[in-house]
């Protein structure tokens, strides 16, 4: 997939007038890439536009104007985009109750590496986890995952952890969006 390049990233002043329209378009894109799994998990499969939006919003929220800081945001968020044959996803663990959230984040050590994609040919591809997010005592509520599916077409996404197991079929807009990503990356034809 295409990474975000510096020429695409607008200054705060140039972004503000187009923000509402861009945000509306990207929210539609995100909705097509969002998978809810079990009670607490949401996977958002990232692409160029979702990452560009994150970069622009960080620049806006953090009042970033310096070139070095902008380049840092681009480099950081581009890591979310999968390379050839790879899908990148943000895992959100959404638990409203703070006491329950703390308990489960401690109980679910190793959980992010338990997520997988199963391809149409039955191959199970386990997530690669960003090790910078792995704690010793508890997990974070946000994780960045990569799934190296190669030329496999994603059929299901699941989690298989001793404390929780769930699977959901990928269909409709999500399946179409992931296929488009793999075609754009030259993985599928």
User: Would the CA dihedral through 57, 58, 64, 69 be positive or negative?
Assistant: negative
How far CA 86 is from CA of 10, 48, 78, 117, 146, in Å, comes to 27, 13, 13, 11, 7
Task: Give the residue numbers spanning the domain of 24.
Answer: 6-184
Domain for residue 35, yes or no? yes
The neighbouring-strand residues paired with 160 are 165
Is pTM beyond 0.85? Reply is yes
Domain for residue 125, yes or no? yes
Is 69 exposed, middle or buried (CB count within 10 Å of its CB: 0-12, 13-18, 19+)?
middle
Domain for residue 52, yes or no? yes
Domain for residue 189, yes or no? no
Q: Are 161 and 111 in contact (CB under 8 A)?
A: yes
Domain count, the chain: 1
Q: Report the candidate in 44, 14, 41 with the shortest Cα–Cα distance to residue 29.
A: 44
Q: Is residue 1 over pLDDT 90?
A: no
Question: What pLDDT, in 10s, does the model give residues 3-50?
Answer: 999 999 999 999 999 999 999 999 999 999 999 999 999 999 999 999
Domain for residue 105, yes or no? yes
Question: What pLDDT, in 10s, does the model give residues 110-144?
Answer: 899 999 999 999 999 999 997 776 667 888 899 99
Domain for residue 144, yes or no? yes
Domain for residue 1, yes or no? no
């Amino acid at each position: 997939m295409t990474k975000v390049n510096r020429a695409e990233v607008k200054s705060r002043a140039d972004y503000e007038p187009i923000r509402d329209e861009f945000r509306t378009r990207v929210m539609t894109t995100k909705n097509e890439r969002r998978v809810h799994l079990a009670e607490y998990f949401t996977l958002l499969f990232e692409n160029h536009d979702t990452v560009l939006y994150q970069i622009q919003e960080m620049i806006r929220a953090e009042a970033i104007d310096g070139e070095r800081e902008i380049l840092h945001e681009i480099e950081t968020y581009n890591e979310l985009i999968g390379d050839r044959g790879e899908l990148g996803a943000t895992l959100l663990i959404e638990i409203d109750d703070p006491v329950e959230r703390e308990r489960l984040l401690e109980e679910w050590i190793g959980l992010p590496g338990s997520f997988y994609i199963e391809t149409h040919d039955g191959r199970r591809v386990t997530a690669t986890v960003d090790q910078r997010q792995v704690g010793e005592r508890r997990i974070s509520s946000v994780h960045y995952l990569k799934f190296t599916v190669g030329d496999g077409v994603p059929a299901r996404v699941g989690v298989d952890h001793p404390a929780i197991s769930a699977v959901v079929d990928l269909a409709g807009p999500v399946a179409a969006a992931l296929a488009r990503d793999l075609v754009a990356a030259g993985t599928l034809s």
